Chain A
Amino acid sequence: VAACLLLSACGKEERVFLPTGPDVIRPSTGPIAPIEPPSKLDPQRVSLGASLFTDVRLSANGRMSCASCHDLSHAGADAVPHSIGVRGAALALNTPTVFNSALNFRQFWDGRASNLEEQIEGPLLNPAEMGSTWEKVLKLLREDGKLAARFEQSYGERPSRASVTDAIATFERSLSTPDAPFDRYIAGDKQALSASAAHGYELFTGYGCSSCHQGQGVGGNMFQKLGVMADYFAARGNETEADLGRYNITHQEADRHVFKVPSLRNVARTAPYFHDGSVARLDEAVRVMARFQLGRDLEAADVNDLAAFLESLTGVYQGRSL
């Protein structure tokens, strides 16, 4: 006892604490910054997350996976305004792309998740979406000896809530699309954009689009009200609860119809548009934005140029342009 007391009086254990998370977003001087591809991702965990991303055991009926809605071959989203959940019913909001989702400062249209790890549980446990439970998912994954062995190798443990989420989040961080023509353009390659797209970029900043759609993600780093200069929801009609946006989270009048500004990266490939998926075409989406956020109707040439600029935001994933 005396020896123990002496030891405890003298010995001090060293504890290192380092919070982990995604890389710090690099600041940039222009409104739009080129995408910095993620670094330091554990390839084993990325590969494990890729397997889980397409694993139907994560859904209640064993038919859906993350990729059912976030189809990587379809720019990380699906082609429908509202994806169909595990119960066969259409979901309330349009599915955003999973590409570059790590650049979003919050997740979901209403920004209720602080990071990808938090986001993953949303669709997984939402009865309308994948509708599963951790208990069930982990049981199924642990029964898979090969998969469990990969977990053992990557995380030193069998599949757990933490390791499954981490694997999927790590995979999603790898879904970055750098090397868009516009990124090359701002890096100095003036040939990277057509004249129309270059003019579109001028309009994009001149009309103030880049007040919200800025940063690496060309959006995704702030909230904004939909319908600043005109009432979008009155014009559209059929206002739903989901249309309340951030109000559903904060219950503050100022947050009514406020959504996370979506990233415009790969926007040309992620139709249909807006939180309600109500617009199928890019030029139409540009017009709608100009009308409700800027208060003016754009001329066709401007819309065309803006669309050309938006086309130039399509990046490269695994060596291929989306």
Chain B
Amino acid sequence: MKPKPTFVAFILAVTGLVVAIVFFEHASPDHAQNRDFVALLAARRSLDQTVVQHALEARFALAANYDQLASDDLNLRRLQLEGSAFLPKFLRGAERLGIERDLDRYGALADRRRLLLERFKSKNALLRNSISYFPSLAADLVRRARDPALVARVNDLRAQTLNLALQTNRGVSDSQRDSVRAVATLMAASADASERRGLELMLSHARVIASEKEQTDGLLQQILALPIDEARKEVSACYQDAYLRATSRASKFGSFVSALSVLLLVLVAYAGLRLRRAAAELGRYNERLETAVSERTAELNQEMARRAQMEIELRQAQKLESVGQLASGIAHEINTPIQYVGDSIHFLRDAFADFTRVLDAYRAGLAGAEANGVVLLPFEAAREVEEELDLPAMKSEVAQAFELTLDGTKQVAHIVSAMKSFAHTSVDKAPTDLNAAIENTLIVARNEYKYVAELELELGELPEVTCNAGGIRQVVLNLLVNAAHAISDVVDKSGERGLIRIRTEVQGSDVVVSITDSGGGIPEAVAPRIFDPFFTTKPLGKGSGQGLAISRSIIEQHAGKLWFETTAKGTTFFIRLPLETEERDPFTPAERDGLEPSAPNGATAPGPL
């Protein structure tokens, strides 16, 4: 589902390229610019017409001054088309160059017209100057002339010249030339200097009129012949074409841009969607990660707790082992003297019996002598001592004492034997007589319960159970001590003695040991936590909170189960152990099970001394 980076880069590059092309090509004609340019062309057209009209008006004296033409010139300069300053920006490339070329041509023609117009104004002014002056000049000559022929010639020249001035399509006529020639002849013949000067001035003005008229009209013709309208129309037509093309192109690009925009929006939307999906996936992944981390943390915590537990167990085991070794040593030390104490008491009892027999024989002899009347005075004192000591009573008491002593030594030997067997703290498993192990434990723990409870044993017939006898004894001891404590809590209040019942039985392939006390039961609030390490309800210093935790751990190592049932009248702890434990202890190789049944287990059988 993940697109390759090269593909993404390709898409981006293509999009960027398209956007760039569109950006540079997308030049929709600016309507305002177009409107202005078209208006400018229209204004120029109007001015192109009026400037010629005003020139014609000036030529025929319809306009008295050049203010109109000056105004046209100013307006033409103001509405400058030349150059590209006002060219709409959408025009580009060849189109723009073409229109610029057309505009340059039009501009050059306009410049040419401006030059011709200025010349025209000057020439026309001279023409007008002479035309204005001519009638008064002629009138002056006529007024002063004495020769009627001169008057006629002057009037003729005036008429011919002014007539000429009014004709735009005709050159100097023959009659005008004749008239000039006639006036010239008269001037040459004139004797009056002032009249000659007047005629000369008239002739020169007539020449000015003729030449300036020709030049003026020539300039006007040139101006009218300028293909300026055509040039402007060319600009206009080219521009119209370009505008139409640009409009259609822009509309095409507009649709393209719209399409591209939509495409981009879709792409963006798609990218957004993908991003969202990716974010969601990331969120889920994070959740999973968190779960995994918390699970791992929990595992770690469990593992750490387990390690701590194992460490505690190991230490406990080590402690027990050393205590056991100590106890074993002590037991061994006691065992030897108690044996010869026992042997000596046996011997003393037998010896006393022998002495009693001797004494009895002496006494019988004495009694026979007395009965024969022999009074042996020295025996009187012995008789008195005998009577004083109540020998017969002493005899039975001594026998009793011996029995008691023997019992005691037998008990001591029993304890020592139990101690020796209890102190055997090997973690190895071996076929074990559970009942014997329980009994040994009871002996060791006797002091814990004998003041608060009666003990009731219901030990059933059990096969040997492959187990770690030390561990099981530790569990039973723990439960026994707890039971005694539970009862003592109650006993302290009621003053009665409680009852501890221990039962063993085979249930299917399991052995179940139950230890029931008549204590106050386990409160409901506490019940779920009693197997937690370090949990204890006992006063500070009385319990470590480890007992039940370790016990459960030990039983679980045997693939067994430790649980309890409790009421307000007491609690029963159950130990269920499989007869054949599957090896659960990772520290012990499984095959050792098969190797060990023959291992010596003398310590588990508390035999008589």
Contact = CB atoms under 8 A, between A and B. Distances in A.
Interface of A: 1-3, 5-6, 8-9, 12-17, 19, 21-22, 24-33, 105, 114, 205-212, 214-216, 221-225, 228-229, 250, 254, 258, 293-296
19 contacts: A2-B260, A5-B19, A6-B257, A6-B261, A8-B26, A9-B28, A9-B257, A12-B28, A12-B31, A16-B32, A24-B71, A25-B74, A27-B68, A29-B63, A31-B64, A207-B133, A208-B133, A223-B118, A224-B125
A2 B263 CA distance: 9
A16 B262 CA distance: 33
Closest 5 CB pairs of A and B: A208-B129, A214-B65, A208-B132, A2-B264, A211-B129
A294 B136 CA distance: 13
Contact of A27 (B71, B129, B208): B71
A67 B36 CA distance: 41
Interface stretch (B75-83, B311-319, B574-582): B75-83
A118 to B, nearest CB: 11
Nearest to A17: B36
Contact of A228 (B23, B77, B126, B264): B126
B457 to A, nearest CB: 92
Nearest to A22: B74
B33 to A, nearest CB: 6
Nearest to B125: A211
Contacts of A8: 26, 257
B254 interface: yes
Contacts of B136: 206-207
B122 A225 contact: yes
Interface in B182-209: 201, 204-205, 208
A130 B407 CA distance: 151
A29 B64 contact: yes
A28 B129 contact: no
Contact of B70 (A25, A29, A212): A25
Contacts of B261: 2-3, 5-6, 9
Given A14-B32, A208-B132, A296-B201, A25 B67 contact: yes
B121 A222 contact: yes
B411 interface: no
Nearest to B40: A17
B32 A6 contact: no
A256 to B, nearest CB: 12
Given A2-B262, A208-B133, 7 more contacts: A1-B264, A5-B19, A5-B257, A13-B32, A27-B67, A30-B64, A31-B65
A53 B208 CA distance: 45
A41 B352 CA distance: 162
**Most interface-central of B33, B36, B118, B128 (chain A CB within 10 A):** B118
A9 B67 contact: no
A296 B200 CA distance: 10
Nearest to A9: B257
Contact of A214 (B66, B126, B131): B66
Interface in B106-133: 115, 118-119, 121-122, 125-126, 128-133
A215 B19 contact: no
Contacts of B264: 1-2, 5
Contacts of A210: 64-65, 132
B265 interface: yes
Contacts of B66: 214-215, 221-222
Contact of A17 (B86, B119, B130, B257): B86
Given A24-B74, A295-B204, A33 B125 contact: no
A26 B73 CA distance: 13
A294 B7 CA distance: 91
Contacts of B64: 28-31, 210, 214
B41 interface: no
B110 to A, nearest CB: 14
A30 B65 CA distance: 7
B121 A223 contact: yes
B30 interface: yes
B67 A114 contact: no
Contact of A216 (B28, B67, B80, B128): B67
B268 interface: yes
A21 B74 contact: yes
A275 to B, nearest CB: 16
Contact of B26 (A9, A32, A222): A9
A221 B128 contact: no
Nearest to B136: A206
Given A2-B264, A17-B36, A205-B132, A221 B122 contact: no
Contacts of A215: 65-67, 70
Contacts of B119: 254
A21 B74 CA distance: 9
Contacts of A294: 129, 133
Nearest to B258: A9
Contact of A206 (B77, B132, B201, B254): B132
Given A214-B66, A215-B65, A15 B33 contact: yes
Nearest to B39: A17
A26 B67 contact: yes
A293 B129 CA distance: 9
A67 to B, nearest CB: 27
Nearest to A224: B122
B455 interface: no
Contacts of B205: 295
Contacts of B68: 27
Nearest to B254: A9
Contact of B258 (A6, A19, A27): A6
Given A15-B36, A211-B126, A215-B66, A105 B74 contact: yes
Contact of A2 (B69, B79, B131, B265): B265
B165 to A, nearest CB: 13
B22 interface: yes
B32 A12 contact: yes
B257 A105 contact: no
A14 B36 CA distance: 11
Nearest to B73: A105
Interface in B236-275: 254, 257-258, 260-262, 264-265, 268
Nearest to A12: B31
